[in-house]
Amino acid sequence: MMSTPPEIERRVEAPPKVERAPIPRPTAEGEEAREITYLKAISEALWEEMKRDDAVFIMGEDVGVYGGAFKVTEGFIEEFGPERVLDTPLSETGFFGAAIGAAMMGMRPVVEVQYADFISCGWDQIVNVAAKMHYRVREAVPVVIRGPSAGGLRAGPFHSQSPEGWFAHTPGLKVVVPATPTDAKGLLKSAIRDNNPVIFFEPKFLYRRVKEVVPGDDYTVPIGQARIAREGEDLSVITYGTMVHRALEAARILEARGISIEVIDLRTLLPLDRNTILESISRTSKAFVLTEDTTGYGISAELVATIATEAFEELDGPIVRLAPPDTPIPYSAPLEDYWLPQVQRIVVEIEKLAAY
């Protein structure tokens, strides 16, 4: 009998065990507000909902023993056990289908897609099963599919896409893209408690870059309700996700130049809060649409169409949109920076519109 080659023996050696430090969690109702990251806010929402409701469970690739690709679920399997924190095979179609079935049987699964780009592997289960089930048989499908989305990390075209437009075009789904830790936590709690399938995208550029003081008590943020991130008088910027922060930075620069910008954070793309958009434009008379979703047939196109159809007589200038070109997102750092809307370009384009 031939012996096993040494290189194969080395390949199958078990990795050394890593001792993890305890992960601090919210203690109880009434805890004081404290500053946390966007990533920690998502982790806390999951932890608290699993504590609150035994029907909530997590599944996905490497969410258990490894703690998730971005460590959102680190420590969960030790606390809740492998029956509620399920490591799945590399088959999005398979575990999306399993989650939908569990949801229809009364459970509330939260499925993590390792990168939002991989969600397309389970497309049929989402748009042809989950989204249509209530319409077909009047059954609730309380499943949340969450995934790290968008660019800024030099991860290339297979790990940096913004696929929210695909799902915002699908009746029967809800699509959420929070921009802040407070909203990330409150909206994820709302998504888990919702009886409809919710696609929950998390701009991974924000995970450890954005911090905010978040309420300590249990709270939710309503799905389908935008917020005014900054009040202004001269022009309305309609945006969401990472672009909210770039719009706010541009607004601070423009304020020093005498231009007052109102920034609307959509938070939810489906259902879309059209009232907040239209009310803002009625005050400022100018609209600037800013997205990380590509230009053609996307979120920006829907926003422009909404404004043109329902607020045309309120406008005192053309509707301007700034979004990436219709190409895959580049891997190269300089090319990715050129591809994504940057603060200085936002400032230049807004100045043109303000001067119109």
Q: What single string gives the DSSP state of each residue in 219-253?
A: ----TT--EEEE--SSEEEEE-THHHHHHHHHHHH
* Backbone CA torsion sign across 247, 252, 255, 260: positive
Q: What is the pLDDT along the chain (356 residues), one digit of tens a residue?
A: 334 444 333 333 333 333 333 444 544 455 788 999 999 999 999 999 999 999 999 999 999 999 999 999 999 999 999 999 999 999 999 999 999 999 999 999 999 999 999 999 999 999 999 999 999 999 999 999 999 999 989 998 999 899 999 999 999 999 999 999 999 999 999 999 999 999 999 999 999 999 999 998 999 999 999 999 999 999 999 999 999 999 999 999 999 999 999 999 999 999 999 999 999 999 999 999 999 999 999 999 999 999 999 999 999 999 999 999 999 999 999 999 999 999 999 999 999 999 99
The per-residue pLDDT for 23 is: 45
Look at residue 1 in the predicted model and tell me its pLDDT. 39
Specify the pLDDT at position 236: 98
Pair 96, 111: CB distance under 8 Å: yes
Which residue, among 121, 133, 127, 73, has the nearest Cα to 94 in the 3D structure?
121
Show which residues are catalytic: 159
Burial of 154 (0-12, 13-18, 19+ CB in 10 A): middle
Taking each continuous run of H as one helix and of E as one strand, the counts in the chain are: 13, 14
Helix (H, G, I), strand (E, B) or coil at 340: coil
Percent composition of the chain: helix, strand, coil (DSSP 3-state, to 5): 40, 15, 45
Q: Please give the pLDDT value at position 29.
A: 54
Identify the bridge partners of residue 236 per DSSP, sorted by sequence position: 262, 287
- CA 250 to CA 260: how far, in whole Å? 11
* Residues in Cβ contact with 242 at an 8 Å cutoff, skipping those fewer than 6 apart: 150, 152, 179, 203, 205, 206, 292
Greatest Cα-to-Cα distance within the chain, rounded to the nearest angstrom? 85
Residues contacting residue 129 through CB under 8 Å, at least 6 positions apart: 97, 100
Query: 3-state class of 156 per DSSP?
Result: coil
Q: In the prediction, which pLDDT does 5 show? A: 41
pLDDT of residue 32: 82
Residue 30: the pLDDT is 56
Note the pLDDT of residue 17. 37
Containing H/E element for 147? Answer: strand 144-149
Domains of the chain: 36-214 (3.40.50.970), 227-354 (3.40.50.920)
Residue that the structure tokens 């920034």 belong to: 263
Phi, psi of 180, rounded to the nearest 5 degrees: -130, 160
Task: Give how far Cα 24 sits from Cα of 40, 206, 329, Å.
Answer: 10, 21, 36
Classify 81 as helix, strand or coil: coil
Q: Is 111 helix (H, G, I), strand (E, B) or coil?
A: strand
CA–CA distance, 59 with 96 (Å, rounded to integer): 9
Residue from 254, 252, 346 nearest 292 by CA: 346
Q: Which of 343, 345, 125, 170 is nearest to 269 (CA)?
A: 170
Q: Are 183 and 244 in contact (CB under 8 A)?
A: no
Reported pTM: 0.90
